[in-house]
Amino acid sequence: MPISDAESVVMDVLWRKAPQSAEEVVAALAKTTDWQEPTIKTLLNRLLKKGVVTAERDGKRYLYSPRLKRADYVHSESKTLLDRLFDGRVAPLVAHFSERRKLSKKDLAELKRLIEELDHDDA
């Protein structure tokens, strides 16, 4: 089930710390968004209906936890991006960023290290 951009912001809060009450999520998002409490609670309910978060009763409130792991979400989103924009291939993505001068020396060093690791794994 796809997660909207707004829902992913709520998920980020839960991935950092769980479980959390709706009030805790609202407080965390008040620092970075201008969303009101009803909006955040609506997003939590959508995520609950999609099955990517759980809610456990804790007295009069619910505590929310992610069921979807962040790594699984990142994998799915990056695969979707690669498939949609680069025919499922990584090299054109890297080429795109290099053409736009968006790769720092640190990025290049990390890419070289990853390629070397892949070469050693294949050997």
Tens digit of each residue's pLDDT (9 = 90 or more) over 5-42? 999 999 999 999 999 999 999 999 999 999 999 999 99
Residue type, 53: V
Tell me the sheet residues that pair with 84: none
Question: pLDDT > 70: what percent of the chain?
Answer: 98
> What pLDDT shows up at residue 99?
83
CATH fold of 70-122 reads Penicillinase repressor fold (1.10.4040)
Domain boundaries, the chain: 5-66, 70-122
Report the distance separating Cα 121 and Cα 123, nearest Å: 6
pLDDT at 123 (0 to 100): 59
Domain made up of 5-66: CATH architecture: Orthogonal Bundle (1.10)
pLDDT of residue 6: 97
Structure tokens at 64: 């929310």
Query: Can you say whether residue 110 is alpha, beta or left, with left for phi > 0 and alpha for psi between -120 and 50 degrees?
Result: alpha
Q: Which of 61, 59, 23 is nearest to 41 (CA)?
A: 23
pLDDT tens, residue by residue, 55-67: 999 999 999 999 9
**Average pLDDT over every residue of 85-104:** 84
What DSSP line would sit under the chain, residue for residue?
----HHHHHHHHHHHHS-SEEHHHHHHHHHTT----HHHHHHHHHHHHHHTSEEEEEETTEEEEEESS-HHHHHHHHHHHHHHHHHTT-HHHHHHHHHHTT---HHHHHHHHHHHHHHHHHH-
